[in-house]
Amino acid sequence: MSATLIVSLSLWVITIVLALVTWRQGRDVLREASRSGVLDFLYLIPRLAIGVIGAGFLAALLPQDVVRSWLGPESGFTGMLLATVAGAVTPGGPVIGFAIGASALKSGASYLAVMTYVTAWALFAFQRLIVWELPVMPTRVVWLRVVASLPLPILTALGVMLLTGRG
């Protein structure tokens, strides 16, 4: 059984268990909650269609060589800042940041720069922010999260330096 199938199955098991718990609070509670969940889903569909189907075009246009060159072997603070920016402009989707990070490592980028890049991509990927996060979270909380996360890529790099002695 593939890992993604396990994820899907566990998601639906959680959903069904929660539905039963909700049902125990009354049929009306279950009906109202299901309605609200389905409405959220319908609201997301056009956004996701644009964002997910469109991510491929953005990824195809991303000058991967340029991004890779930003993760050059030169490290230091400037290198980490560049890696952070590179992560933020890389489109979302489950793998593209990891794929670019892996190929950058192979072509000689520093370990620290790739750590910084992957962390920044996970936290800030601009398109994931707009497609997934803003539609369902209060706008204010999204921007508070982004600002609060600004130091994290650099903290990751510092932590890796301490832990592994690489620098």
By the rule CB under 8 A, 41 interacts with another protein: yes
Judged by CB under 8 A, which stretch of 6-14, 69-77, 81-89 contacts another protein? 6-14
Non-local (6+) Cβ contacts of 84 within 8 A are 116, 117, 120, 124, 153, 154
Name which of 46 and 76 has its Cβ closer to another protein.
Answer: 46
- What is the residue whose two structure tokens read 């490290």? 75
8 Å CB contact between 70 and 85: yes
Residues 82-141 that bind another protein (CB under 8 A): 92, 94-95, 98-99, 101-102, 105, 111, 114-115, 118-119, 122-123, 127-128, 130-141
Q: Which of 1, 53, 63, 165 binds another protein (CB under 8 A)?
A: 53
Q: Is 46 in the site for another protein (CB under 8 A)?
A: yes
Interface residue with another protein among 1, 27, 52, 107 (CB under 8 A) is: 52
> 91: which DSSP letter?
-
| Interaction of residue 64 with another protein, rule CB under 8 A | no
Residue 47 binds to another protein (criterion: CB under 8 A): yes
Calpha distance 85→60 (Å, rounded): 19
Among residues 116, 119, 124, the alpha carbon closest in space to that of 75 is found at 116
